[in-house]
Amino acid sequence: MIENLMKHYKDAFITAESPYKTDLYSWFLTDTGTFFGIKKDRLSTKETSLLSSLFTPYGTHVNDMNDTQAFWYNLLFLQQGTVSPEQFSFSQCRFIQFYADQPITDHLEFQEAIQALLPRDTIFLWENDSSGVLVETRNEEIIEDVFYDEITVTLTSDFYTDMRLFIGQTHPLSDNLGSLFHTEKEWFQKGIQFLHKQKVYRLHDILPFLLLEGMDEDFRNQLKNVIPEELQDDHELLETIKVFFESDLNVSNAAKRLYMHRNSLQYRIEKFIEKTGIDIKHFHGAVTTYLAILDLEHF
């Protein structure tokens, strides 16, 4: 592929260990870790889009980065560079990823807005016009006091785009941060894929889907049969039971979410227990049944 590009673009094509002259060249990264650049005046919009789908683009926003941002961009998105904990004033970090369903046109205004809504120091990085990550810097575990759902509501209102966030794990500084970030990036994509209505994701939201994807098909079919066949098409009942689980097995809270009288919900729960033989009011029965419902819905 690279050889064909060299033949096609001739003297407008260059390779390098890292991008340079980003004002003149559009840069891309291959799967083997090789950077190549093509003069911008030789690329049409269609060609740029095609190359971006085949390789990892080194975005134009990189030109506006300071040294700290450039270091973290290379570490996380390109998995290049090493981490020496002594070079930082913090010992831990956490990745807060964002995704907008429409491109953000005013990058600076958006960056200032989201950083102002977060109470702790962050390093802001764009991946493209719709997504990026904030590296939250820490020296110790902090009690979580941020209402991320409210942040997504504010950003959605201010920028007229549907906003989603993934709140990652806290990691000690190490050379594994690039790999850990890419894993969390995959988790975020799973959340968007399976949890359409949700705006804020964490690992515990995604974990059931990761477990189901890791099961072989025979086992998943057995899991579906935890729910009797006569109930598998009763979507209203299964949604009711799922909301009960997602309300921490609290009947009152689930009834409010379902706009249902508490006694009516309690009756449905008891009937479900009677027909399945699984006590879903206790942890083990709830976990098994919740996975079975997700299995029926998505696999």
* Tokens (6 digits) for 50: 């095609």
In angstroms, the CA 258 to CA 99 distance is 29
Report the pLDDT value the prediction gives residue 37, as an integer from 0 to 100. Answer: 92
Answer yes or no: do 24 and 118 share one domain: no
Q: What is the CATH number of the domain that holds 82?
A: 3.30.70.270
> Are residue 258 and residue 287 in the same domain, yes or no?
yes
Backbone angles phi, psi at 147, to 5 degrees: -95, 90
Say if residues 223 and 292 touch (Cβ distance below 8 Å).
yes
Q: What is the pLDDT of residue 191?
A: 96
Instruction: Indicate if 124 and 249 belong to the same structural domain.
Output: no
Residues 285, 260: one domain? yes
Residue 138 CA to residue 136 CA, distance in Å, equals 7
* pLDDT tens-place string over residues 79-124: 888 898 788 889 999 999 999 998 898 999 999 999 999 988 999 9
Q: Is residue 209 part of a domain?
A: no
Residue of 168, 198, 190, 70 whose CA lies nearest to 126: 70
Beta-carbon neighbour count of residue 231 at 10 Å? 16
Q: Which of 64, 127, 63 is nearest to 100 (CA)?
A: 127
CA atoms in the 13 A half-sphere facing the CB of 11: 0
**Amino acid identity at 184:** E
Q: What is the mean pLDDT of residues 168-180?
A: 94
210 domain-assigned = no
Q: Are 248 and 283 found together in one domain?
A: yes
Tokens linked to 243 = 């909301």
Give per-residue pLDDT as tens, 204-231: 999 999 999 999 999 999 999 999 999 9
Residue 79's pLDDT is: 84
Closest CA to 220 of 299, 288, 289: 299
Q: What is the pTM of this model?
A: 0.79
Give how many domains the chain has, as a whole number. Answer: 3
Residue 72 sits in the same domain as residue 29:
no
**Per-residue confidence (pLDDT) for residue 45, from 0 to 100:** 86
The predicted pLDDT at position 30 comes to 85
Average pLDDT over residues 137-141: 82
Whether residue 70 sits in one domain with residue 142? yes
Nearest C-alpha neighbor of 98 from the set 126, 69, 62: 126
Higher-confidence position of 9 and 49: 9
Specify whether 109 is located in the same domain as 188.
yes
Mean pLDDT of the region 259-273:
96
Helical axes 203-214 vs 177-194, angle rounded to 10° = 80
Quote the mean pLDDT of the chain: 92
What pLDDT shows up at residue 95?
A: 98
Which three-class secondary structure state does DSSP give residue 27?
Answer: strand
Which range of residues forms the domain containing residue 138?
Answer: 64-204
Q: Provide the residue type at 173 as one letter.
A: L
- 23-61 pLDDT per residue, tens: 788 888 888 878 899 999 999 988 988 898 888 887 656
The tens digit of pLDDT for each residue in 140-167 reads: 776 677 899 999 999 999 999 999 999 9
Handedness of CA 16, 183, 110, 144 (dihedral sign): negative
pLDDT of residue 285: 97
Same domain, 90 and 113: yes
Per-residue model confidence as pLDDT tens digits over 189-207: 999 999 989 999 999 999 9
- For residue 6, give both structure tokens: 């060299």
Residue 63 clears pLDDT 80, i.e. is over it: no
Q: Which phi and psi angles does 57 have, rounded to 5°?
A: -75, 140
47 and 70, same domain (yes or no):
no
For 214, the token pair is 């890791």
Residue 48, C-beta contacts closer than 8 angstroms, at least 6 positions apart:
26
- Specify if 108 maps to a domain: yes
Residue 115 counted as domain residue: yes
User: Which pLDDT does position 143 carry in this prediction?
Assistant: 67
CATH number at residue 290: 1.10.10.2840
